[in-house]
């Protein structure tokens, strides 16, 4: 398909989301058979293969290029176009938003902080499904307190002139590391107690000698996370993202994407899951109360998330106030799966068909909604200090 086939690319209408959505849905309808998952209850391997296949088709047809800058193979336009794409794919259950929206936290990092030639080389590989990347942030002793990380990078020789750095240490909770060709890695390059001032980000090839990936089985039986060990791993200086000791800005730059497009895509998916619950639940007043309550929470969350994306699109800098939607999202997500457990008795605990399997897996996964991305306690702490101005805790 040629660029000119998209009337949406007319400069006047480049941000016409409604038109984009209409054309995208028409295309997805047309290619529905080709894009549909081949298994009812895919393994993680099958799921990853499905996602990369969908990304490839969408990239080839152009849809994956909207909203990304031209210098990394995109076609420009508002970032909300790609938010919309992820939301539509999630609603159609063609991809899992948690995995698909990793693009939103990884590609912008390369675009904003890598050398332009590196970004131009690698970002299209991520968008097209040719590659998968992971995010090496958390460590065994570094959960919500990211500034305490200790995985160390030291220069071969003088820090100013070294062409190679050596990485030693361990990461954990690294999503999909075993599928990844690359890793955006945060390392300690300052003194051990330098906190956010002594962190540097690198873009590391996962096939470098010295990198060991050990998948972790989550509470739902899926091996989505991994421990990643770095044993004297050489990384070229030209793979540094941002300046030396500038890694904290790299990490923080992700927040606006995570809290805008990723959230919107997750919300789209939760609506779809609520719809599945509405189809399956008994048609009585108990169900009505329970699904009505979840729908209300999702509505307020969606309204909040929409406002945030429009603020971002109009040039606002997102900050502490996004902890509000983080709390709303975590609460609504758990409420949805609690509702499923209540209204579909025994399904989560006893049944073994593919539908029950997905409710069970997702129910268990939803318990992490108040943990990952900064626990709900951390979010409330931020809200208290930054938004309510209650001062610091002693």
Partner 1 sequence: MIDAAERGLFEESVRTAFARAAGERGAPVDGALAELGWLELLAAEPADAVAIVFRALGSAHATASALDDVVASALGRGTSAEVAVLLPESGASDPPGRTVGDRLRATGLATARVDTAREVLVPVGTEGGTNLVLVPAADARVAPVRGIDPEAGLRAVTIDLDPGAARAPDVVDWEEGVALARRAISHQVAGACRAMLELARRHALERVQFGRPIAQFQAVRTRLADALVACEALDAALAAAADESGPATAALAKAVAGRTARTVGAECQQVLAGIGFTTEHAFHRYLKRTMLLDGLFGAADDIVLSWGRRLLDGGQVPRLIEL
Residue 258 annotated among the catalytic residues of the structure = yes
Question: Cα 341 from chain centroid?
Answer: 26
> Which chain residues interact with partner 1 by CB under 8 A?
17-18, 21, 80, 83-84, 87, 264, 271, 274-275, 278-279, 281, 283, 285, 287-293, 295-296, 298-304, 306-307, 309, 324, 327-328, 377, 379-381, 383-385, 387-391, 393-394
Return the number of the residue (140 or 282) whose C-beta is nearest partner 1: 282
Antiparallel, parallel or unpaired: β 182-188 and 225-236: unpaired
| Cβ atoms within 10 Å of 148's Cβ, excluding its own | 15
Return the number of the residue (135 or 305) whose C-beta is nearest partner 1: 305
The strand pairing partners of 270, in sequence order, are none
Alpha-carbon gap, residue 101 to 124, rounded angstroms: 15
Alpha-carbon gap, residue 133 to 117, rounded angstroms: 18
Return the number of the residue (219 or 387) whose C-beta is nearest partner 1: 387
Which of these is catalytic: 84, 104, 224, 258? Answer: 258
Please provide the size of the chain in residues: 394
Alpha-carbon gap, residue 278 to 322, rounded angstroms: 29
Return the number of the residue (158 or 393) whose C-beta is nearest partner 1: 393
Question: CB of residue 270 vs partner 1: minimum separation in angstroms?
Answer: 10
Question: CB of residue 334 vs partner 1: minimum separation in angstroms?
Answer: 14
Return the number of the residue (243 or 292) whose C-beta is nearest partner 1: 292
Q: Which residues of 48-86 are buried (b: 16+ CB within 10 A; e: fewer)?
A: bbbbbbbbebbbeebbbbbbbbeebbbbebbbbbbbbbb
How far is residue 392 from each of residues 110, 193, 383, 388, measured CA to CA in Å? 34, 21, 11, 11
Alpha-carbon gap, residue 322 to 232, rounded angstroms: 38
Active site residues: 258
């Amino acid at each position: 398909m040629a660029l000119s086939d998209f009337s949406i690319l007319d400069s006047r209408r480049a941000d016409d989301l409604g038109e984009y959505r209409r054309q995208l849905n028409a295309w997805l309808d047309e290619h529905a058979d080709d894009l549909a998952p081949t298994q009812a209850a895919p393994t993680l391997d099958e799921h990853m293969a499905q996602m990369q296949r969908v990304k490839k088709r969408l990239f080839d047809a152009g849809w994956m290029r909207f909203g990304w800058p031209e210098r990394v193979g995109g076609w420009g336009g508002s970032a909300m176009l790609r938010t919309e794409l992820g939301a539509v794919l999630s609603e159609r259950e063609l991809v899992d938003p948690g995995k698909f929206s990793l693009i939103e936290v990884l590609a912008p990092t390369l675009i904003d902080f890598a050398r332009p030639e590196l970004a131009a080389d690698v970002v299209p590989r991520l968008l097209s499904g040719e590659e998968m990347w992971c995010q090496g942030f958390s460590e065994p002793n570094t959960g919500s307190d990211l500034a305490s990380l200790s995985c160390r990078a030291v220069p071969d020789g003088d820090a100013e002139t070294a062409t190679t750095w050596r990485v030693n240490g361990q990461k954990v909770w690294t999503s999909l590391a075993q599928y990844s060709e690359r890793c955006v890695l945060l390392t300690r390059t300052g003194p051990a107690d330098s906190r956010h001032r002594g962190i540097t980000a690198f873009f590391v090839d996962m096939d470098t000698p010295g990198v060991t990936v050990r998948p972790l089985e989550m509470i739902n039986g899926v091996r989505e996370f991994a421990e990643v060990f770095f044993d004297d791993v050489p990384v070229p200086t030209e793979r540094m993202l941002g300046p030396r000791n500038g890694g904290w800005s790299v990490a923080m730059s992700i927040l606006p994407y995570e809290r805008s497009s990723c959230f919107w895509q997750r919300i789209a998916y939760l609506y779809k899951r609520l719809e599945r619950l509405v189809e399956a639940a008994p048609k009585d007043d108990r169900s009505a109360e329970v699904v009505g309550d979840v729908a209300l929470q999702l509505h307020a969350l969606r309204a909040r998330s929409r406002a945030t994306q429009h603020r971002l699109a109009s040039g606002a800098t997102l900050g502490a106030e996004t902890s509000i939607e983080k709390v709303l999202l975590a609460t609504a997500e758990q409420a949805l799966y609690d509702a499923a457990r209540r209204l579909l008795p025994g399904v989560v605990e006893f049944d073994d068909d593919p539908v029950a399997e997905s409710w069970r897996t997702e129910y268990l996964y939803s318990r992490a909604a108040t943990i990952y991305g900064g626990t709900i306690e951390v979010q409330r702490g931020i809200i208290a200090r930054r938004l309510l101005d209650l001062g610091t805790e002693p």
